[in-house]
Amino acid sequence: MLSTFAMFGCIAQLLRKWESRERKKARDYEKEKEREKERKSDESKEARRLKEFFEDYDDERDDIKFYKCVVSTLHF
């Protein structure tokens, strides 16, 4: 049977490991939160860019430019 001192040492070691694990999980959680924030920011920027593009898009003016570009790339 373990002495009280040995049991305290084992418990203290387990506590240190658990606290270390919790700190690592907290860091991982913060990193994931920052990545998600960055992803949402990028998504928002892209949405604004596309919204502006489609608001300014004129079929009669811009389709001609687009299809000329597509046709010229098809003809090697």
Question: What one-character-per-residue DSSP string does the chain give?
Answer: ---HHHHHHHHHHHHHHHHHHHHHHHHHHHHHHHHHHHHHHHHHHHHHHHHHHHHH--HHHHHHHHHHHHHHHH--
Mean pLDDT of 44-68: 85
Position with higher pLDDT, 60 vs 35 = 35
Structure tokens at 52: 């502006």
pLDDT of residue 75: 63
**What is the number of domains present in the chain?**
1
Which residues span the domain enclosing 63? 4-74
Report d(CA 25, CA 21) in Å as an integer: 6
pLDDT of residue 70: 64
pLDDT of residue 43: 98
